[in-house]
């Protein structure tokens, strides 16, 4: 009796191991192919570098268009320290979500890889209702030094979305 029970347990264990090993080999063979297809499709869909004037879409439905970036003589006399120059960025924002969207920290400026500070002129903090548009919003940056300028556009007050898009700026 013990021999029959031992034989039965061994047989069941063998079937279980065979079934598990076949299932793993099938899934591991097909998953790299699916991953390669998905990543190439994502690269085509997820553009991360934009130019001034191009619409920058985000996965949640928010769209930002940088309309212009220009040097300005406008200054906030209370900002310390005063920068060498001030860059004024004008943009439109479309809130394609079903919730209110807070505008205020959607951009960061990097000059030669160094983060510049915001400069308090223009739109500082605003809320856009669901399905609405904000036109000609302004974000300003104090710029010290020269070099390659990149505007990093993201959703500032959205903690569940880490998308960052880059707008390369060519200003003299």
List the one residue out of 122, 129, 118 whose CA is nearest residue 93: 129
Asked if 168 contacts 67 with a C-beta cutoff of 8 angstroms, the reply is: no
**Using CA atoms, how far apart are residues 119 and 133, in angstroms rounded to an integer?**
24
Model confidence band, residue 27 (pLDDT cutoffs 50, 70, 90): very low
**Cα–Cα distance measured from residue 143 to residue 140, given in angstroms and rounded to the nearest whole number:** 9
Beta strands in 33-106 (DSSP E): 49-50, 55-57, 62-72, 85-95, 101-103
User: Tens digit of pLDDT for each residue in 38-66?
Assistant: 444 444 456 899 999 999 999 889 999 99
Q: So where are the chain's domains?
A: 1-46, 49-169
- Coil, helix or strand at residue 151: strand
Overall pTM surpassing 0.85 (yes/no): no
> Is CATH 2.60.40.1240 what the domain over 49-169 is classified as, yes or no?
yes
Model pLDDT, residue 132: 96
Percent helix / strand / coil, the chain, rounded to 5:
25, 40, 35
């Amino acid at each position: 009796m013990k021999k029959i029970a031992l034989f039965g347990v061994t047989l069941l264990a063998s079937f279980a191991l065979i079934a598990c090993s076949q299932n793993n080999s099938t899934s591991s063979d097909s998953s790299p192919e699916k991953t390669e297809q998905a990543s190439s499709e994502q690269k085509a869909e997820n553009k991360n570098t934009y130019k001034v004037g191009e619409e920058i879409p985000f996965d949640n439905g928010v769209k930002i268009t940088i309309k212009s970036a220009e040097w300005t003589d406008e200054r906030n006399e209370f900002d310390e320290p005063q920068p060498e120059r001030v860059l004024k960025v004008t943009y439109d924002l479309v809130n394609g979500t079903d919730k209110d969207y807070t505008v205020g920290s959607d951009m960061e400026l990097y000059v030669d890889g160094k983060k510049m500070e915001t400069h308090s002129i223009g739109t500082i903090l605003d809320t856009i209702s669901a399905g609405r548009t904000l036109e000609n919003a302004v974000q300003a940056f104090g710029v010290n030094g020269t070099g390659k300028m990149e505007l990093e556009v993201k959703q500032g007050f959205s903690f569940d979305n880490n998308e960052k898009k880059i707008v390369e700026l060519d200003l003299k």
